[in-house]
Amino acid sequence: MQKIKIENVKKGDFVKRKADAKKVFRAGGYCKFERKYILDDYDDISRCISIKKGTDVFVGFTY
């Protein structure tokens, strides 16, 4: 598992917000209106979160 900044994540990659988190998100893209990156909840299609630029996320895990 690797810790990288949200702006370096490719669209469609699976990410976790913390190393020991159970919730898995899929990177959506950048919202210019909110100036935040969108993460779509993989288990619930109607739920998404917005996080600021520079936030650390975790990728490269087995799902």
Q: Work out the burial of residue 15: count CB atoms within 10 Å of its CB; fewer than 13 is exposed, 13-18 middle, 19 or more buried.
A: buried
Residue 62's pLDDT is: 86
Q: Which two tokens stand for residue 49?
A: 């979160």
Count how many domains the chain has.
1
Express each pLDDT in 16-45 by its tens digit: 999 999 999 999 999 999 999 999 999 998
What long-range pairs does 42-45 form, CB within 8 A, spacing at least 24? 42/14
Euclidean distance between CA atoms 52 and 55, whole angstroms:
6
Residue 11 has pLDDT above 80, yes or no: yes
Residue 32 sits in which domain range? 2-59
Residue 63's pLDDT is: 73
| CATH number for 27 | 2.30.30
